Amino acid sequence: MPQALRPWFLATRPKTLPAAIVPVWVGSLPAAFGWTGSEGFGGGLFWATLASCLCIQIATNLFNDAIDSHKGADTEKRLGPKRVTATGMLAARTVMVGAFGFCLLAAVIAIPLIQARDWPIVAIGGVSLLMAFAYTGGPFPLAYRGMGELFVILFFGFVAVFGSWFVQSGEGPGILQWITGLQVGLYSSALIAINNLRDVDEDRQSNKRTLAVRFGKNFARFEIALFCLGPVVLSLAGAFLLFPWFALAALTLPLGLAISAKVKRTEPSAVYNRFLAMSAGQLVGYAILLSIAFALHHG
């Protein structure tokens, strides 16, 4: 990779991108396997949805990088991966311009989605773009008010899954979308909760009032366990309410238990970056298992 592009690659936070990819795949999965009521899988619409969501995720990460550095939430001493603004690899102004550029790119890529599904896509996309900035910026930054996990459940869970299903089918969410949307949101929120527990001391100093800062480390450990294990219970509920093979998605249980146990017995430190990787693996593993479940159900 050219040296000039390396800071931008780091700023996109590639390890976080499964949180944008998985909900699009999960939301589109019913159409891909001919779920009743869908119009059939639209490959072009899928790729446009995926690319647009990835751009929004990258824009969110860039806004976060520049704004957290400005507010002192990220410094050169942070325990997590390096941030390009805090370390001086890129100027804050440059990173902000890049963030707005990805917002614009997301809007352009979404044009075929708007042509296919009309104004609801404008509403979903517009709110998502606004929240990409509002997560850490603006007069009420969600991440600084302890609302980061709620934001992720809503937008990387329900909105992304519902929206991807709507693009493919033109229909609103059913019980399948409610269950999978909540599962994706919880798994994705585990990433935020682990990150916040790792950075709890630094966030407290910079007045970033995450849930870990507000309620303490034990609460943070509890919510991480909830986010890792709650979707397993939902998989069993899906097996009862939808189709038996849905229970396959519960095979993420061992990894969820391992993450919960490691977080419980480990004080916040750089080793939490390994737990983040495990959590991302759990999210991707869930998507793979759910895909297998659909294939077996329709095979």
Whether pLDDT at 25 is above 80? yes
Q: What is the pLDDT of residue 277?
A: 92
Residues 37-56 have pLDDT tens digits of 556 788 899 999 999 999 99
CB 50 within 8 A of CB 21: yes
Whether pLDDT at 139 is above 80? no
Whether pLDDT at 242 is above 60? yes
Q: What is the pLDDT of residue 44?
A: 92
Tokens representing 18 are 């499964």
Whether pLDDT at 81 is above 70? no
Q: What is the pLDDT of residue 79?
A: 59
Question: How does the average pLDDT of the chain come out, rounded?
Answer: 89
Identify the band that residue 15 occupies on the pLDDT scale cut at 50, 70 and 90: confident
pTM > 0.75: yes or no:
yes
Q: What is the pLDDT of residue 194?
A: 95
**Across 153-170, average pLDDT:** 94
Whether pLDDT at 129 is above 60? yes
Whether pLDDT at 24 is above 60? yes
CB 263 within 8 A of CB 194: yes
Cβ burial of 123 (10 Å; 0-12, 13-18, 19+) is: exposed
Q: Where are the domains of the chain?
A: 3-298
Whether pLDDT at 262 is above 60? yes
Residue 146, Cβ neighbours under 10 Å: how many?
A: 17
Tracing tokens 């990173």 back to the chain, one arrives at 95
- HSE-up of 191 (CA within 13 Å, CB side)? 24
Whether pLDDT at 65 is above 90? no
Whether pLDDT at 80 is above 60? no
CB 189 within 8 A of CB 182: no
User: Where do runs of H (alpha helix) occur along the chain?
Assistant: 6-11, 18-32, 43-71, 92-109, 111-117, 119-134, 148-152, 160-169, 175-198, 200-205, 211-215, 217-241, 253-265, 272-298
Whether pLDDT at 167 is above 70? yes
**Across 233-254, average pLDDT:** 96
Sign (positive or negative) of CA dihedral 288, 289, 294, 295: positive
* One-letter identity of residue 102: F
Q: Which of 285, 297, 225 is nearest to 258 (CA)?
A: 225
CA distance 60 to 47: 20
Whether pLDDT at 268 is above 70? yes
Q: What is the pLDDT of residue 148?
A: 87
DSSP SS3 for 276: helix
